[in-house]
Amino acid sequence: MARAASNDKTDTHSFEGQGEKVAFYFRGYALEDYVALLVFWALCADVFIQFFSRYVMGSSLGWTEEMARYLLIALTFLGSALAVRRHSHIYVEYFFQRFTMPAQKIIQGLVDLGRCLFFGVLTYLAFQMATRTQSMMASMDYPKSIIYYAASAGLLLMTLRSVQIIAARWISSSSLSR
């Protein structure tokens, strides 16, 4: 997918793709996108090591399955934060569009506040779980609390992005009412 070229060359890189010049814009991505990409490639490398050791070498490495599971959990929470930022969470649009515009704004505000509160409570609970977990991972010598800290970091990102959405909607609605 090609985008129009920007005058600011500091945040773009171009490359040839299927006969056309494609520009890559760094500005459209956030920190969680890059972290999720790193976690995804770590997961790919881990699964490749697991496949290679099991089917080529004939002896499976025990830690690769557990590591893949934990990387997938971390990727899920990072991806969820990414989805909140892009407004791609699931809602029933059919019923939402049946309301009048003022009712839609009220419902949207209530949904935004509820989502922010929900993510905030989950962040708190995941952090509490992380601080209380004392057990170690089965095949690696690391505490299981790392997983709960990763989940609470993803939930915190979701909470912050939800607050950011509420602030952006509030600013845009207050600027329209002037």
Any domain includes 101: yes
Phi-psi domain of 58 (left: phi exceeds 0; alpha: psi -120 through 50; beta: other): left
Once rounded to an integer, what is the mean pLDDT over residues 22-46? 83
5 or 168: whose pLDDT is higher? 168
| CA–CA separation, 70 and 151 (whole Å) | 10
pLDDT of residue 37: 92
Any domain includes 159: yes
- Tokens for 98, please give them: 């049946």
- Whether the CA torsion 9, 15, 17, 20 is positive or negative: it is positive
Any domain includes 1: no
pLDDT of residue 1: 42
10 Å CB burial of residue 169 (0-12, 13-18, 19+) is: middle
- Tokens for 42, please give them: 């770590």
pLDDT per position as a tens digit, 70-106: 999 999 999 999 999 888 877 777 778 888 988 988 8
Any domain includes 4: no
Any domain includes 3: no
Once rounded to an integer, what is the mean pLDDT over residues 45-68? 91
Any domain includes 163: yes
| CA–CA separation, 61 and 49 (whole Å) | 8
The tally of domains found in the chain comes to 1
| CA–CA separation, 40 and 87 (whole Å) | 21
pTM strictly above 0.85: no
Binned at pLDDT 50, 70 and 90, residue 170 comes out as confident
Once rounded to an integer, what is the mean pLDDT over residues 12-33? 66
Domain membership of residue 83 as a residue range: 9-176
| CA–CA separation, 99 and 48 (whole Å) | 50
pLDDT of residue 4: 45
10 Å CB burial of residue 135 (0-12, 13-18, 19+) is: exposed
pLDDT per position as a tens digit, 97-124: 888 988 988 888 898 999 999 999 999 9
Q: Are 122 and 175 in contact (CB under 8 A)?
A: no
Here the contacts of 8-12 (C-beta below 8 Å, separation 24 or greater) are none
* Coil, strand or helix at 36: helix
pLDDT of residue 29: 78
